[in-house]
A and B are shown apart, each in its own frame.
Chain A
Amino acid sequence: MTPPHEPSAPTQPTTPLTHANTAAREALHSRRAFLFKLSLYLNGVVGAVLAVPLVGYVLGPAFKKTSSYNSWVSLGPISDFPEGQTRLADFRNPVTTVSDGETGKVACWVRRIEGEKFQVFAINCAHLGCPVRWFEQSRLFLCPCHGGAYYEDGSRASGPPERGLFEYQYKIVGSQLMIEAGAMPTLANEACAKKPRPLVNIESQQPAAPTQQANDAERSSAWPA
């Protein structure tokens, strides 16, 4: 039954070990142990080289600046937004991929105060990012998750949020209302800030050219409605 190549117990060495033999084996062992260590170092170095692209690939999104995602997108003609009203608008995020599907869409609240004075609020509650809803009659934004409430100018009214709604930069080009968007609005750079500023993580990298933008950047309190 047992084929010749069946595993079997190792055979005893037939020749007795001499001193010279032992010394030679010791030297050989020491050499092999050294080579083994060398192979470990070699793999360590190769591993380190390999780690650069692997870690870089995984951490890639973390190193990209938020502002690099941003660009100006149109919310449509300003005539879509009657004065004195707050309306839901949506746009396709300027940065999307083929697999995003409908998650590439973003909603926001547009408040047209008067004329070319607007406020564009992120849909995300400043507490934990749930979608806030506008209630025209009580002039409040309410969050369904933990009950955060904001006044019509986006300032905090009550509940767990520690600041007002995030506000996009906007400009009017021709008759189009444009906002600067691209990344999900969160407290990101705000967590340590003493004074809440309008949507810091969607801030513009280039100096605010139109005077309107300068106004926006300063605006942390309510417009005189």
Chain B
Amino acid sequence: MASVNKRSNSQIKKTYEWFDRRLGLAKPLTEAAQHPTPERSASWWYVFGSAATVLLILQVVTGILLALVYSPSAGEAWGSLQFLNHDVTLGWVLRAIHGWGSDFMIAIVLMHMVQVFMFGAYKFPRELTWIIGVFLLLLTLGMAFTGQVMRFDQDAYWGLGIGASILSRVPWIGGSLVHLLLGGPIIGGQTLTRFFALHVFIIPGTLLLLVGLHVWMVLRLGINEWPMPGRIVSKATYEREYHELTEKNGIPFVPDAAWKDGVFAAAILLAVIACALFFGPFGPTGQPDPTIIQTAPKPDFAFLWIYAVLAYLPPDLETPFIFIAPIIIIGGMLLLPLVAGEGEKHWKRRPVAVLMVSVIAVTLAIFTHLGTYTPWSPIMEAWSAEPIPTAYLQHRSPLERQGAIVLQNKQCRDCHALGGVGGMRGPALDSIATRMTEDQIIRQVLQGGGNMPAYGKALSPAETRALVAFLMTLREKNLAPAVDASRSLAHSGAMHVPVATTR
């Protein structure tokens, strides 16, 4: 038995040698895997990059498998996704893993970026690694956007419309850019095939190439050492210092440091699978029929913050902002290592860096949160779906109740909430009479102003009178109604005038 084992072992060894004599990869690969790593860098903080790479591989594999069934044709894509969801064995699981893998990949890439930033890893000599990383982030977001188009449902269709409308704002060449994006005059067959080519060939190809470069540079320049307050990066001395760190106290990356990467990557993969199984695939939502307009298109999670920003920009600032802000943001990220390539790495000595990350994170979180419930959008069905709270109708005169009907029929609820239900585009009306006087309400309703359209043409005088009568009853907790200060002055003046005239 032992001899058989020995013989098969030697057979395996011979085969291995036959290949390696021709490939010559064993030595460089072993050296790369065992490259010395600063001991403290074998940390749980240093696992995000490898996890992102593992997720990329997951996306490539699941993406190829989905392409076995998916039909990149505007007339068939939506149907082929329904087929994947309901008819292809485990098709829904594959779609779910690919969709959730995409969300996880964006999250992990962002975490990786924040970690690298906070640990000063972008400083000399790793500037170019960071710059390539910025492009990897953009390509990852590009994959997410084009992937959303692959879903080719209502959200994808109108999302393309939003993309085209943004491009149309480019001065002079806007129209040409729109046609280039859409591949023709309208969102249609050529649009989907173009985005398909981007999603499965162009962006992933570039992504894999740049990931290769990125990893190559990590191997070549070494994993960032654990930053220490007061250990200053200087171009003159850094390489010698790093060399000492790795030569004296270094540990081989495989296996001493890599086991943490392995455990984390496995945990993330499990999390993707768990989300996929529990929550299922994303969509597709309604079919991409542009004549079905009962839809409220919304981008995927990663782009909700942009959707929110676009809602809040003042109209005249929007076009300049859309084109200047990305240049500043991306330019800033690219220039960061060139401007701050030396100095302190530890976050305790870099208050501006900590502040920046906090502000950006909070800003993105707030805008994303707003994007989840879109307070700026009218709720199109509120006027016909949500009744006026009963309490607001009790002990009211017939005129006031008629006013409640006017409020409902004229779709005021689409933008104004009552009893916590309705649109949030305008202020809630529950205590409107404590904030505005009758005159002010009449003026606002008839002439509009701020974000409110004028209803002068949509309301008859009788309707206006009833509506305002009802609105005047809306005083929460029976607070005193708003008082027009000028009127009481005029009133007090009127008290004096007659005295003057009688004299």
Chain A residues proximal to chain B, CB less than 8 Å: 6-7, 59, 61-64, 66, 69, 88, 90, 93, 95-107, 123-124, 127-133, 135, 137-140, 142, 144-147, 149, 151-152, 157-162, 182-184, 186-192, 201, 225
Contact = CB atoms under 8 A, between A and B. Distances in A.
Contact of B186 (A95, A133, A158, A190): A95
Given A99-B75, A104-B188, A144-B296, 10 more contacts: A7-B21, A100-B188, A101-B288, A102-B290, A107-B290, A133-B294, A145-B296, A182-B185, A184-B178, A188-B168
Given A88-B293, A97-B190, A184-B187, A62 B453 contact: no
Which among A99, A107, A137 has the highest number of chain B CB atoms within 10 Å? A99
Given A127-B165, A162-B316, A186-B168, A99 B376 contact: no
Nearest to A201: B175
B457 A144 contact: no
A179 to B, nearest CB: 15
Contacts of B311: 145-147, 160
A201 B174 CA distance: 11
Given A145-B297, A158-B452, A191-B319, A93 B174 contact: no
Contact of A146 (B169, B170, B310, B458): B310
B377 interface: yes
A62 B185 CA distance: 10
B87 interface: no
A144 B185 contact: no
A139 B411 CA distance: 10
The B interface, classified by DSSP as helix, strand, loop or mixed, is loop
26 contacts: A62-B176, A62-B177, A66-B185, A90-B291, A99-B188, A100-B188, A101-B188, A104-B188, A105-B290, A106-B291, A107-B291, A128-B165, A129-B164, A130-B158, A144-B295, A144-B380, A147-B425, A158-B450, A158-B453, A160-B310, A160-B318, A184-B161, A186-B165, A187-B168, A188-B174, A191-B171
B453 A149 contact: yes
Contact of A130 (B162, B179, B192, B315): B162
B331 interface: no
Contacts of A186: 164-165, 167-168, 174-175, 178
A59 B180 contact: yes
B299 to A, nearest CB: 10
Contacts of A140: 411, 453, 458
B313 A160 contact: yes
Interface string B393-432: 0000000000000000111101100000000010000000
